């Protein structure tokens, strides 16, 4: 029994050293893998953003698309597109319905009308 007890206490020290040696290797590998995964994720998300542009065809030669209208020119009511899919842009032609069905989005038009007196 005494030899078994001595063997157990003697084997704990090398086990602790093996544990430390394992951590010395495992921690840098885990940090490197996490950093690499983060960087790859950032690269892929930025690369994919260009494919997800909202405006796919309206005034692409302009750095910013802006339309303005005088209230007097609107008449009683105007319906403007917010999905960028309308063939009559900036006016809505109902193209958002197909867009919503395909993507699960819930975009709708902007309706501008004169206040009832």
Single out the residue of 84, 104, 106, 105 nearest to residue 95, CA to CA.
84
Return per-residue pLDDT of the chain as tens, 117 residues.
444 444 455 555 566 667 778 888 889 999 999 999 999 988 887 776 555 667 777 788 888 888 787 777 777 888 999 888 889 988 999 988 988 888 888 888 998 888 776
Q: Is 107 helix (H, G, I), strand (E, B) or coil?
A: coil
Overall residue count recorded for the chain in this entry: 117
Task: Show the tokens assigned to 100.
Answer: 């919503």
Q: Is 112 helix (H, G, I), strand (E, B) or coil?
A: strand
Name the pTM for this structure: 0.47
| Catalytic positions, written as ranges | 64
Give 50's DSSP letter.
G
Topology of domain 71-113, CATH: Ribosomal Protein L9; domain 1 (3.40.5)
């Amino acid at each position: 029994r005494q030899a078994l007890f001595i063997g157990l206490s003697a084997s704990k020290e090398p086990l602790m050293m093996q544990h430390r040696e394992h951590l010395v290797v495992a921690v840098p590998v885990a940090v490197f893998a996490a950093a690499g995964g983060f960087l790859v994720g950032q690269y892929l998300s930025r690369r994919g953003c260009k494919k997800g542009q909202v405006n796919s065809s309206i005034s692409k030669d302009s750095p910013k698309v802006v339309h303005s209208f005088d209230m007097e020119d609107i008449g009683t009511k105007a319906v403007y597109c917010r999905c960028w899919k309308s063939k009559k842009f900036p006016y809505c032609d109902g193209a958002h319905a197909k867009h919503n069905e395909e993507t699960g989005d819930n975009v709708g038009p902007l309706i501008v009308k004169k206040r009832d007196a």
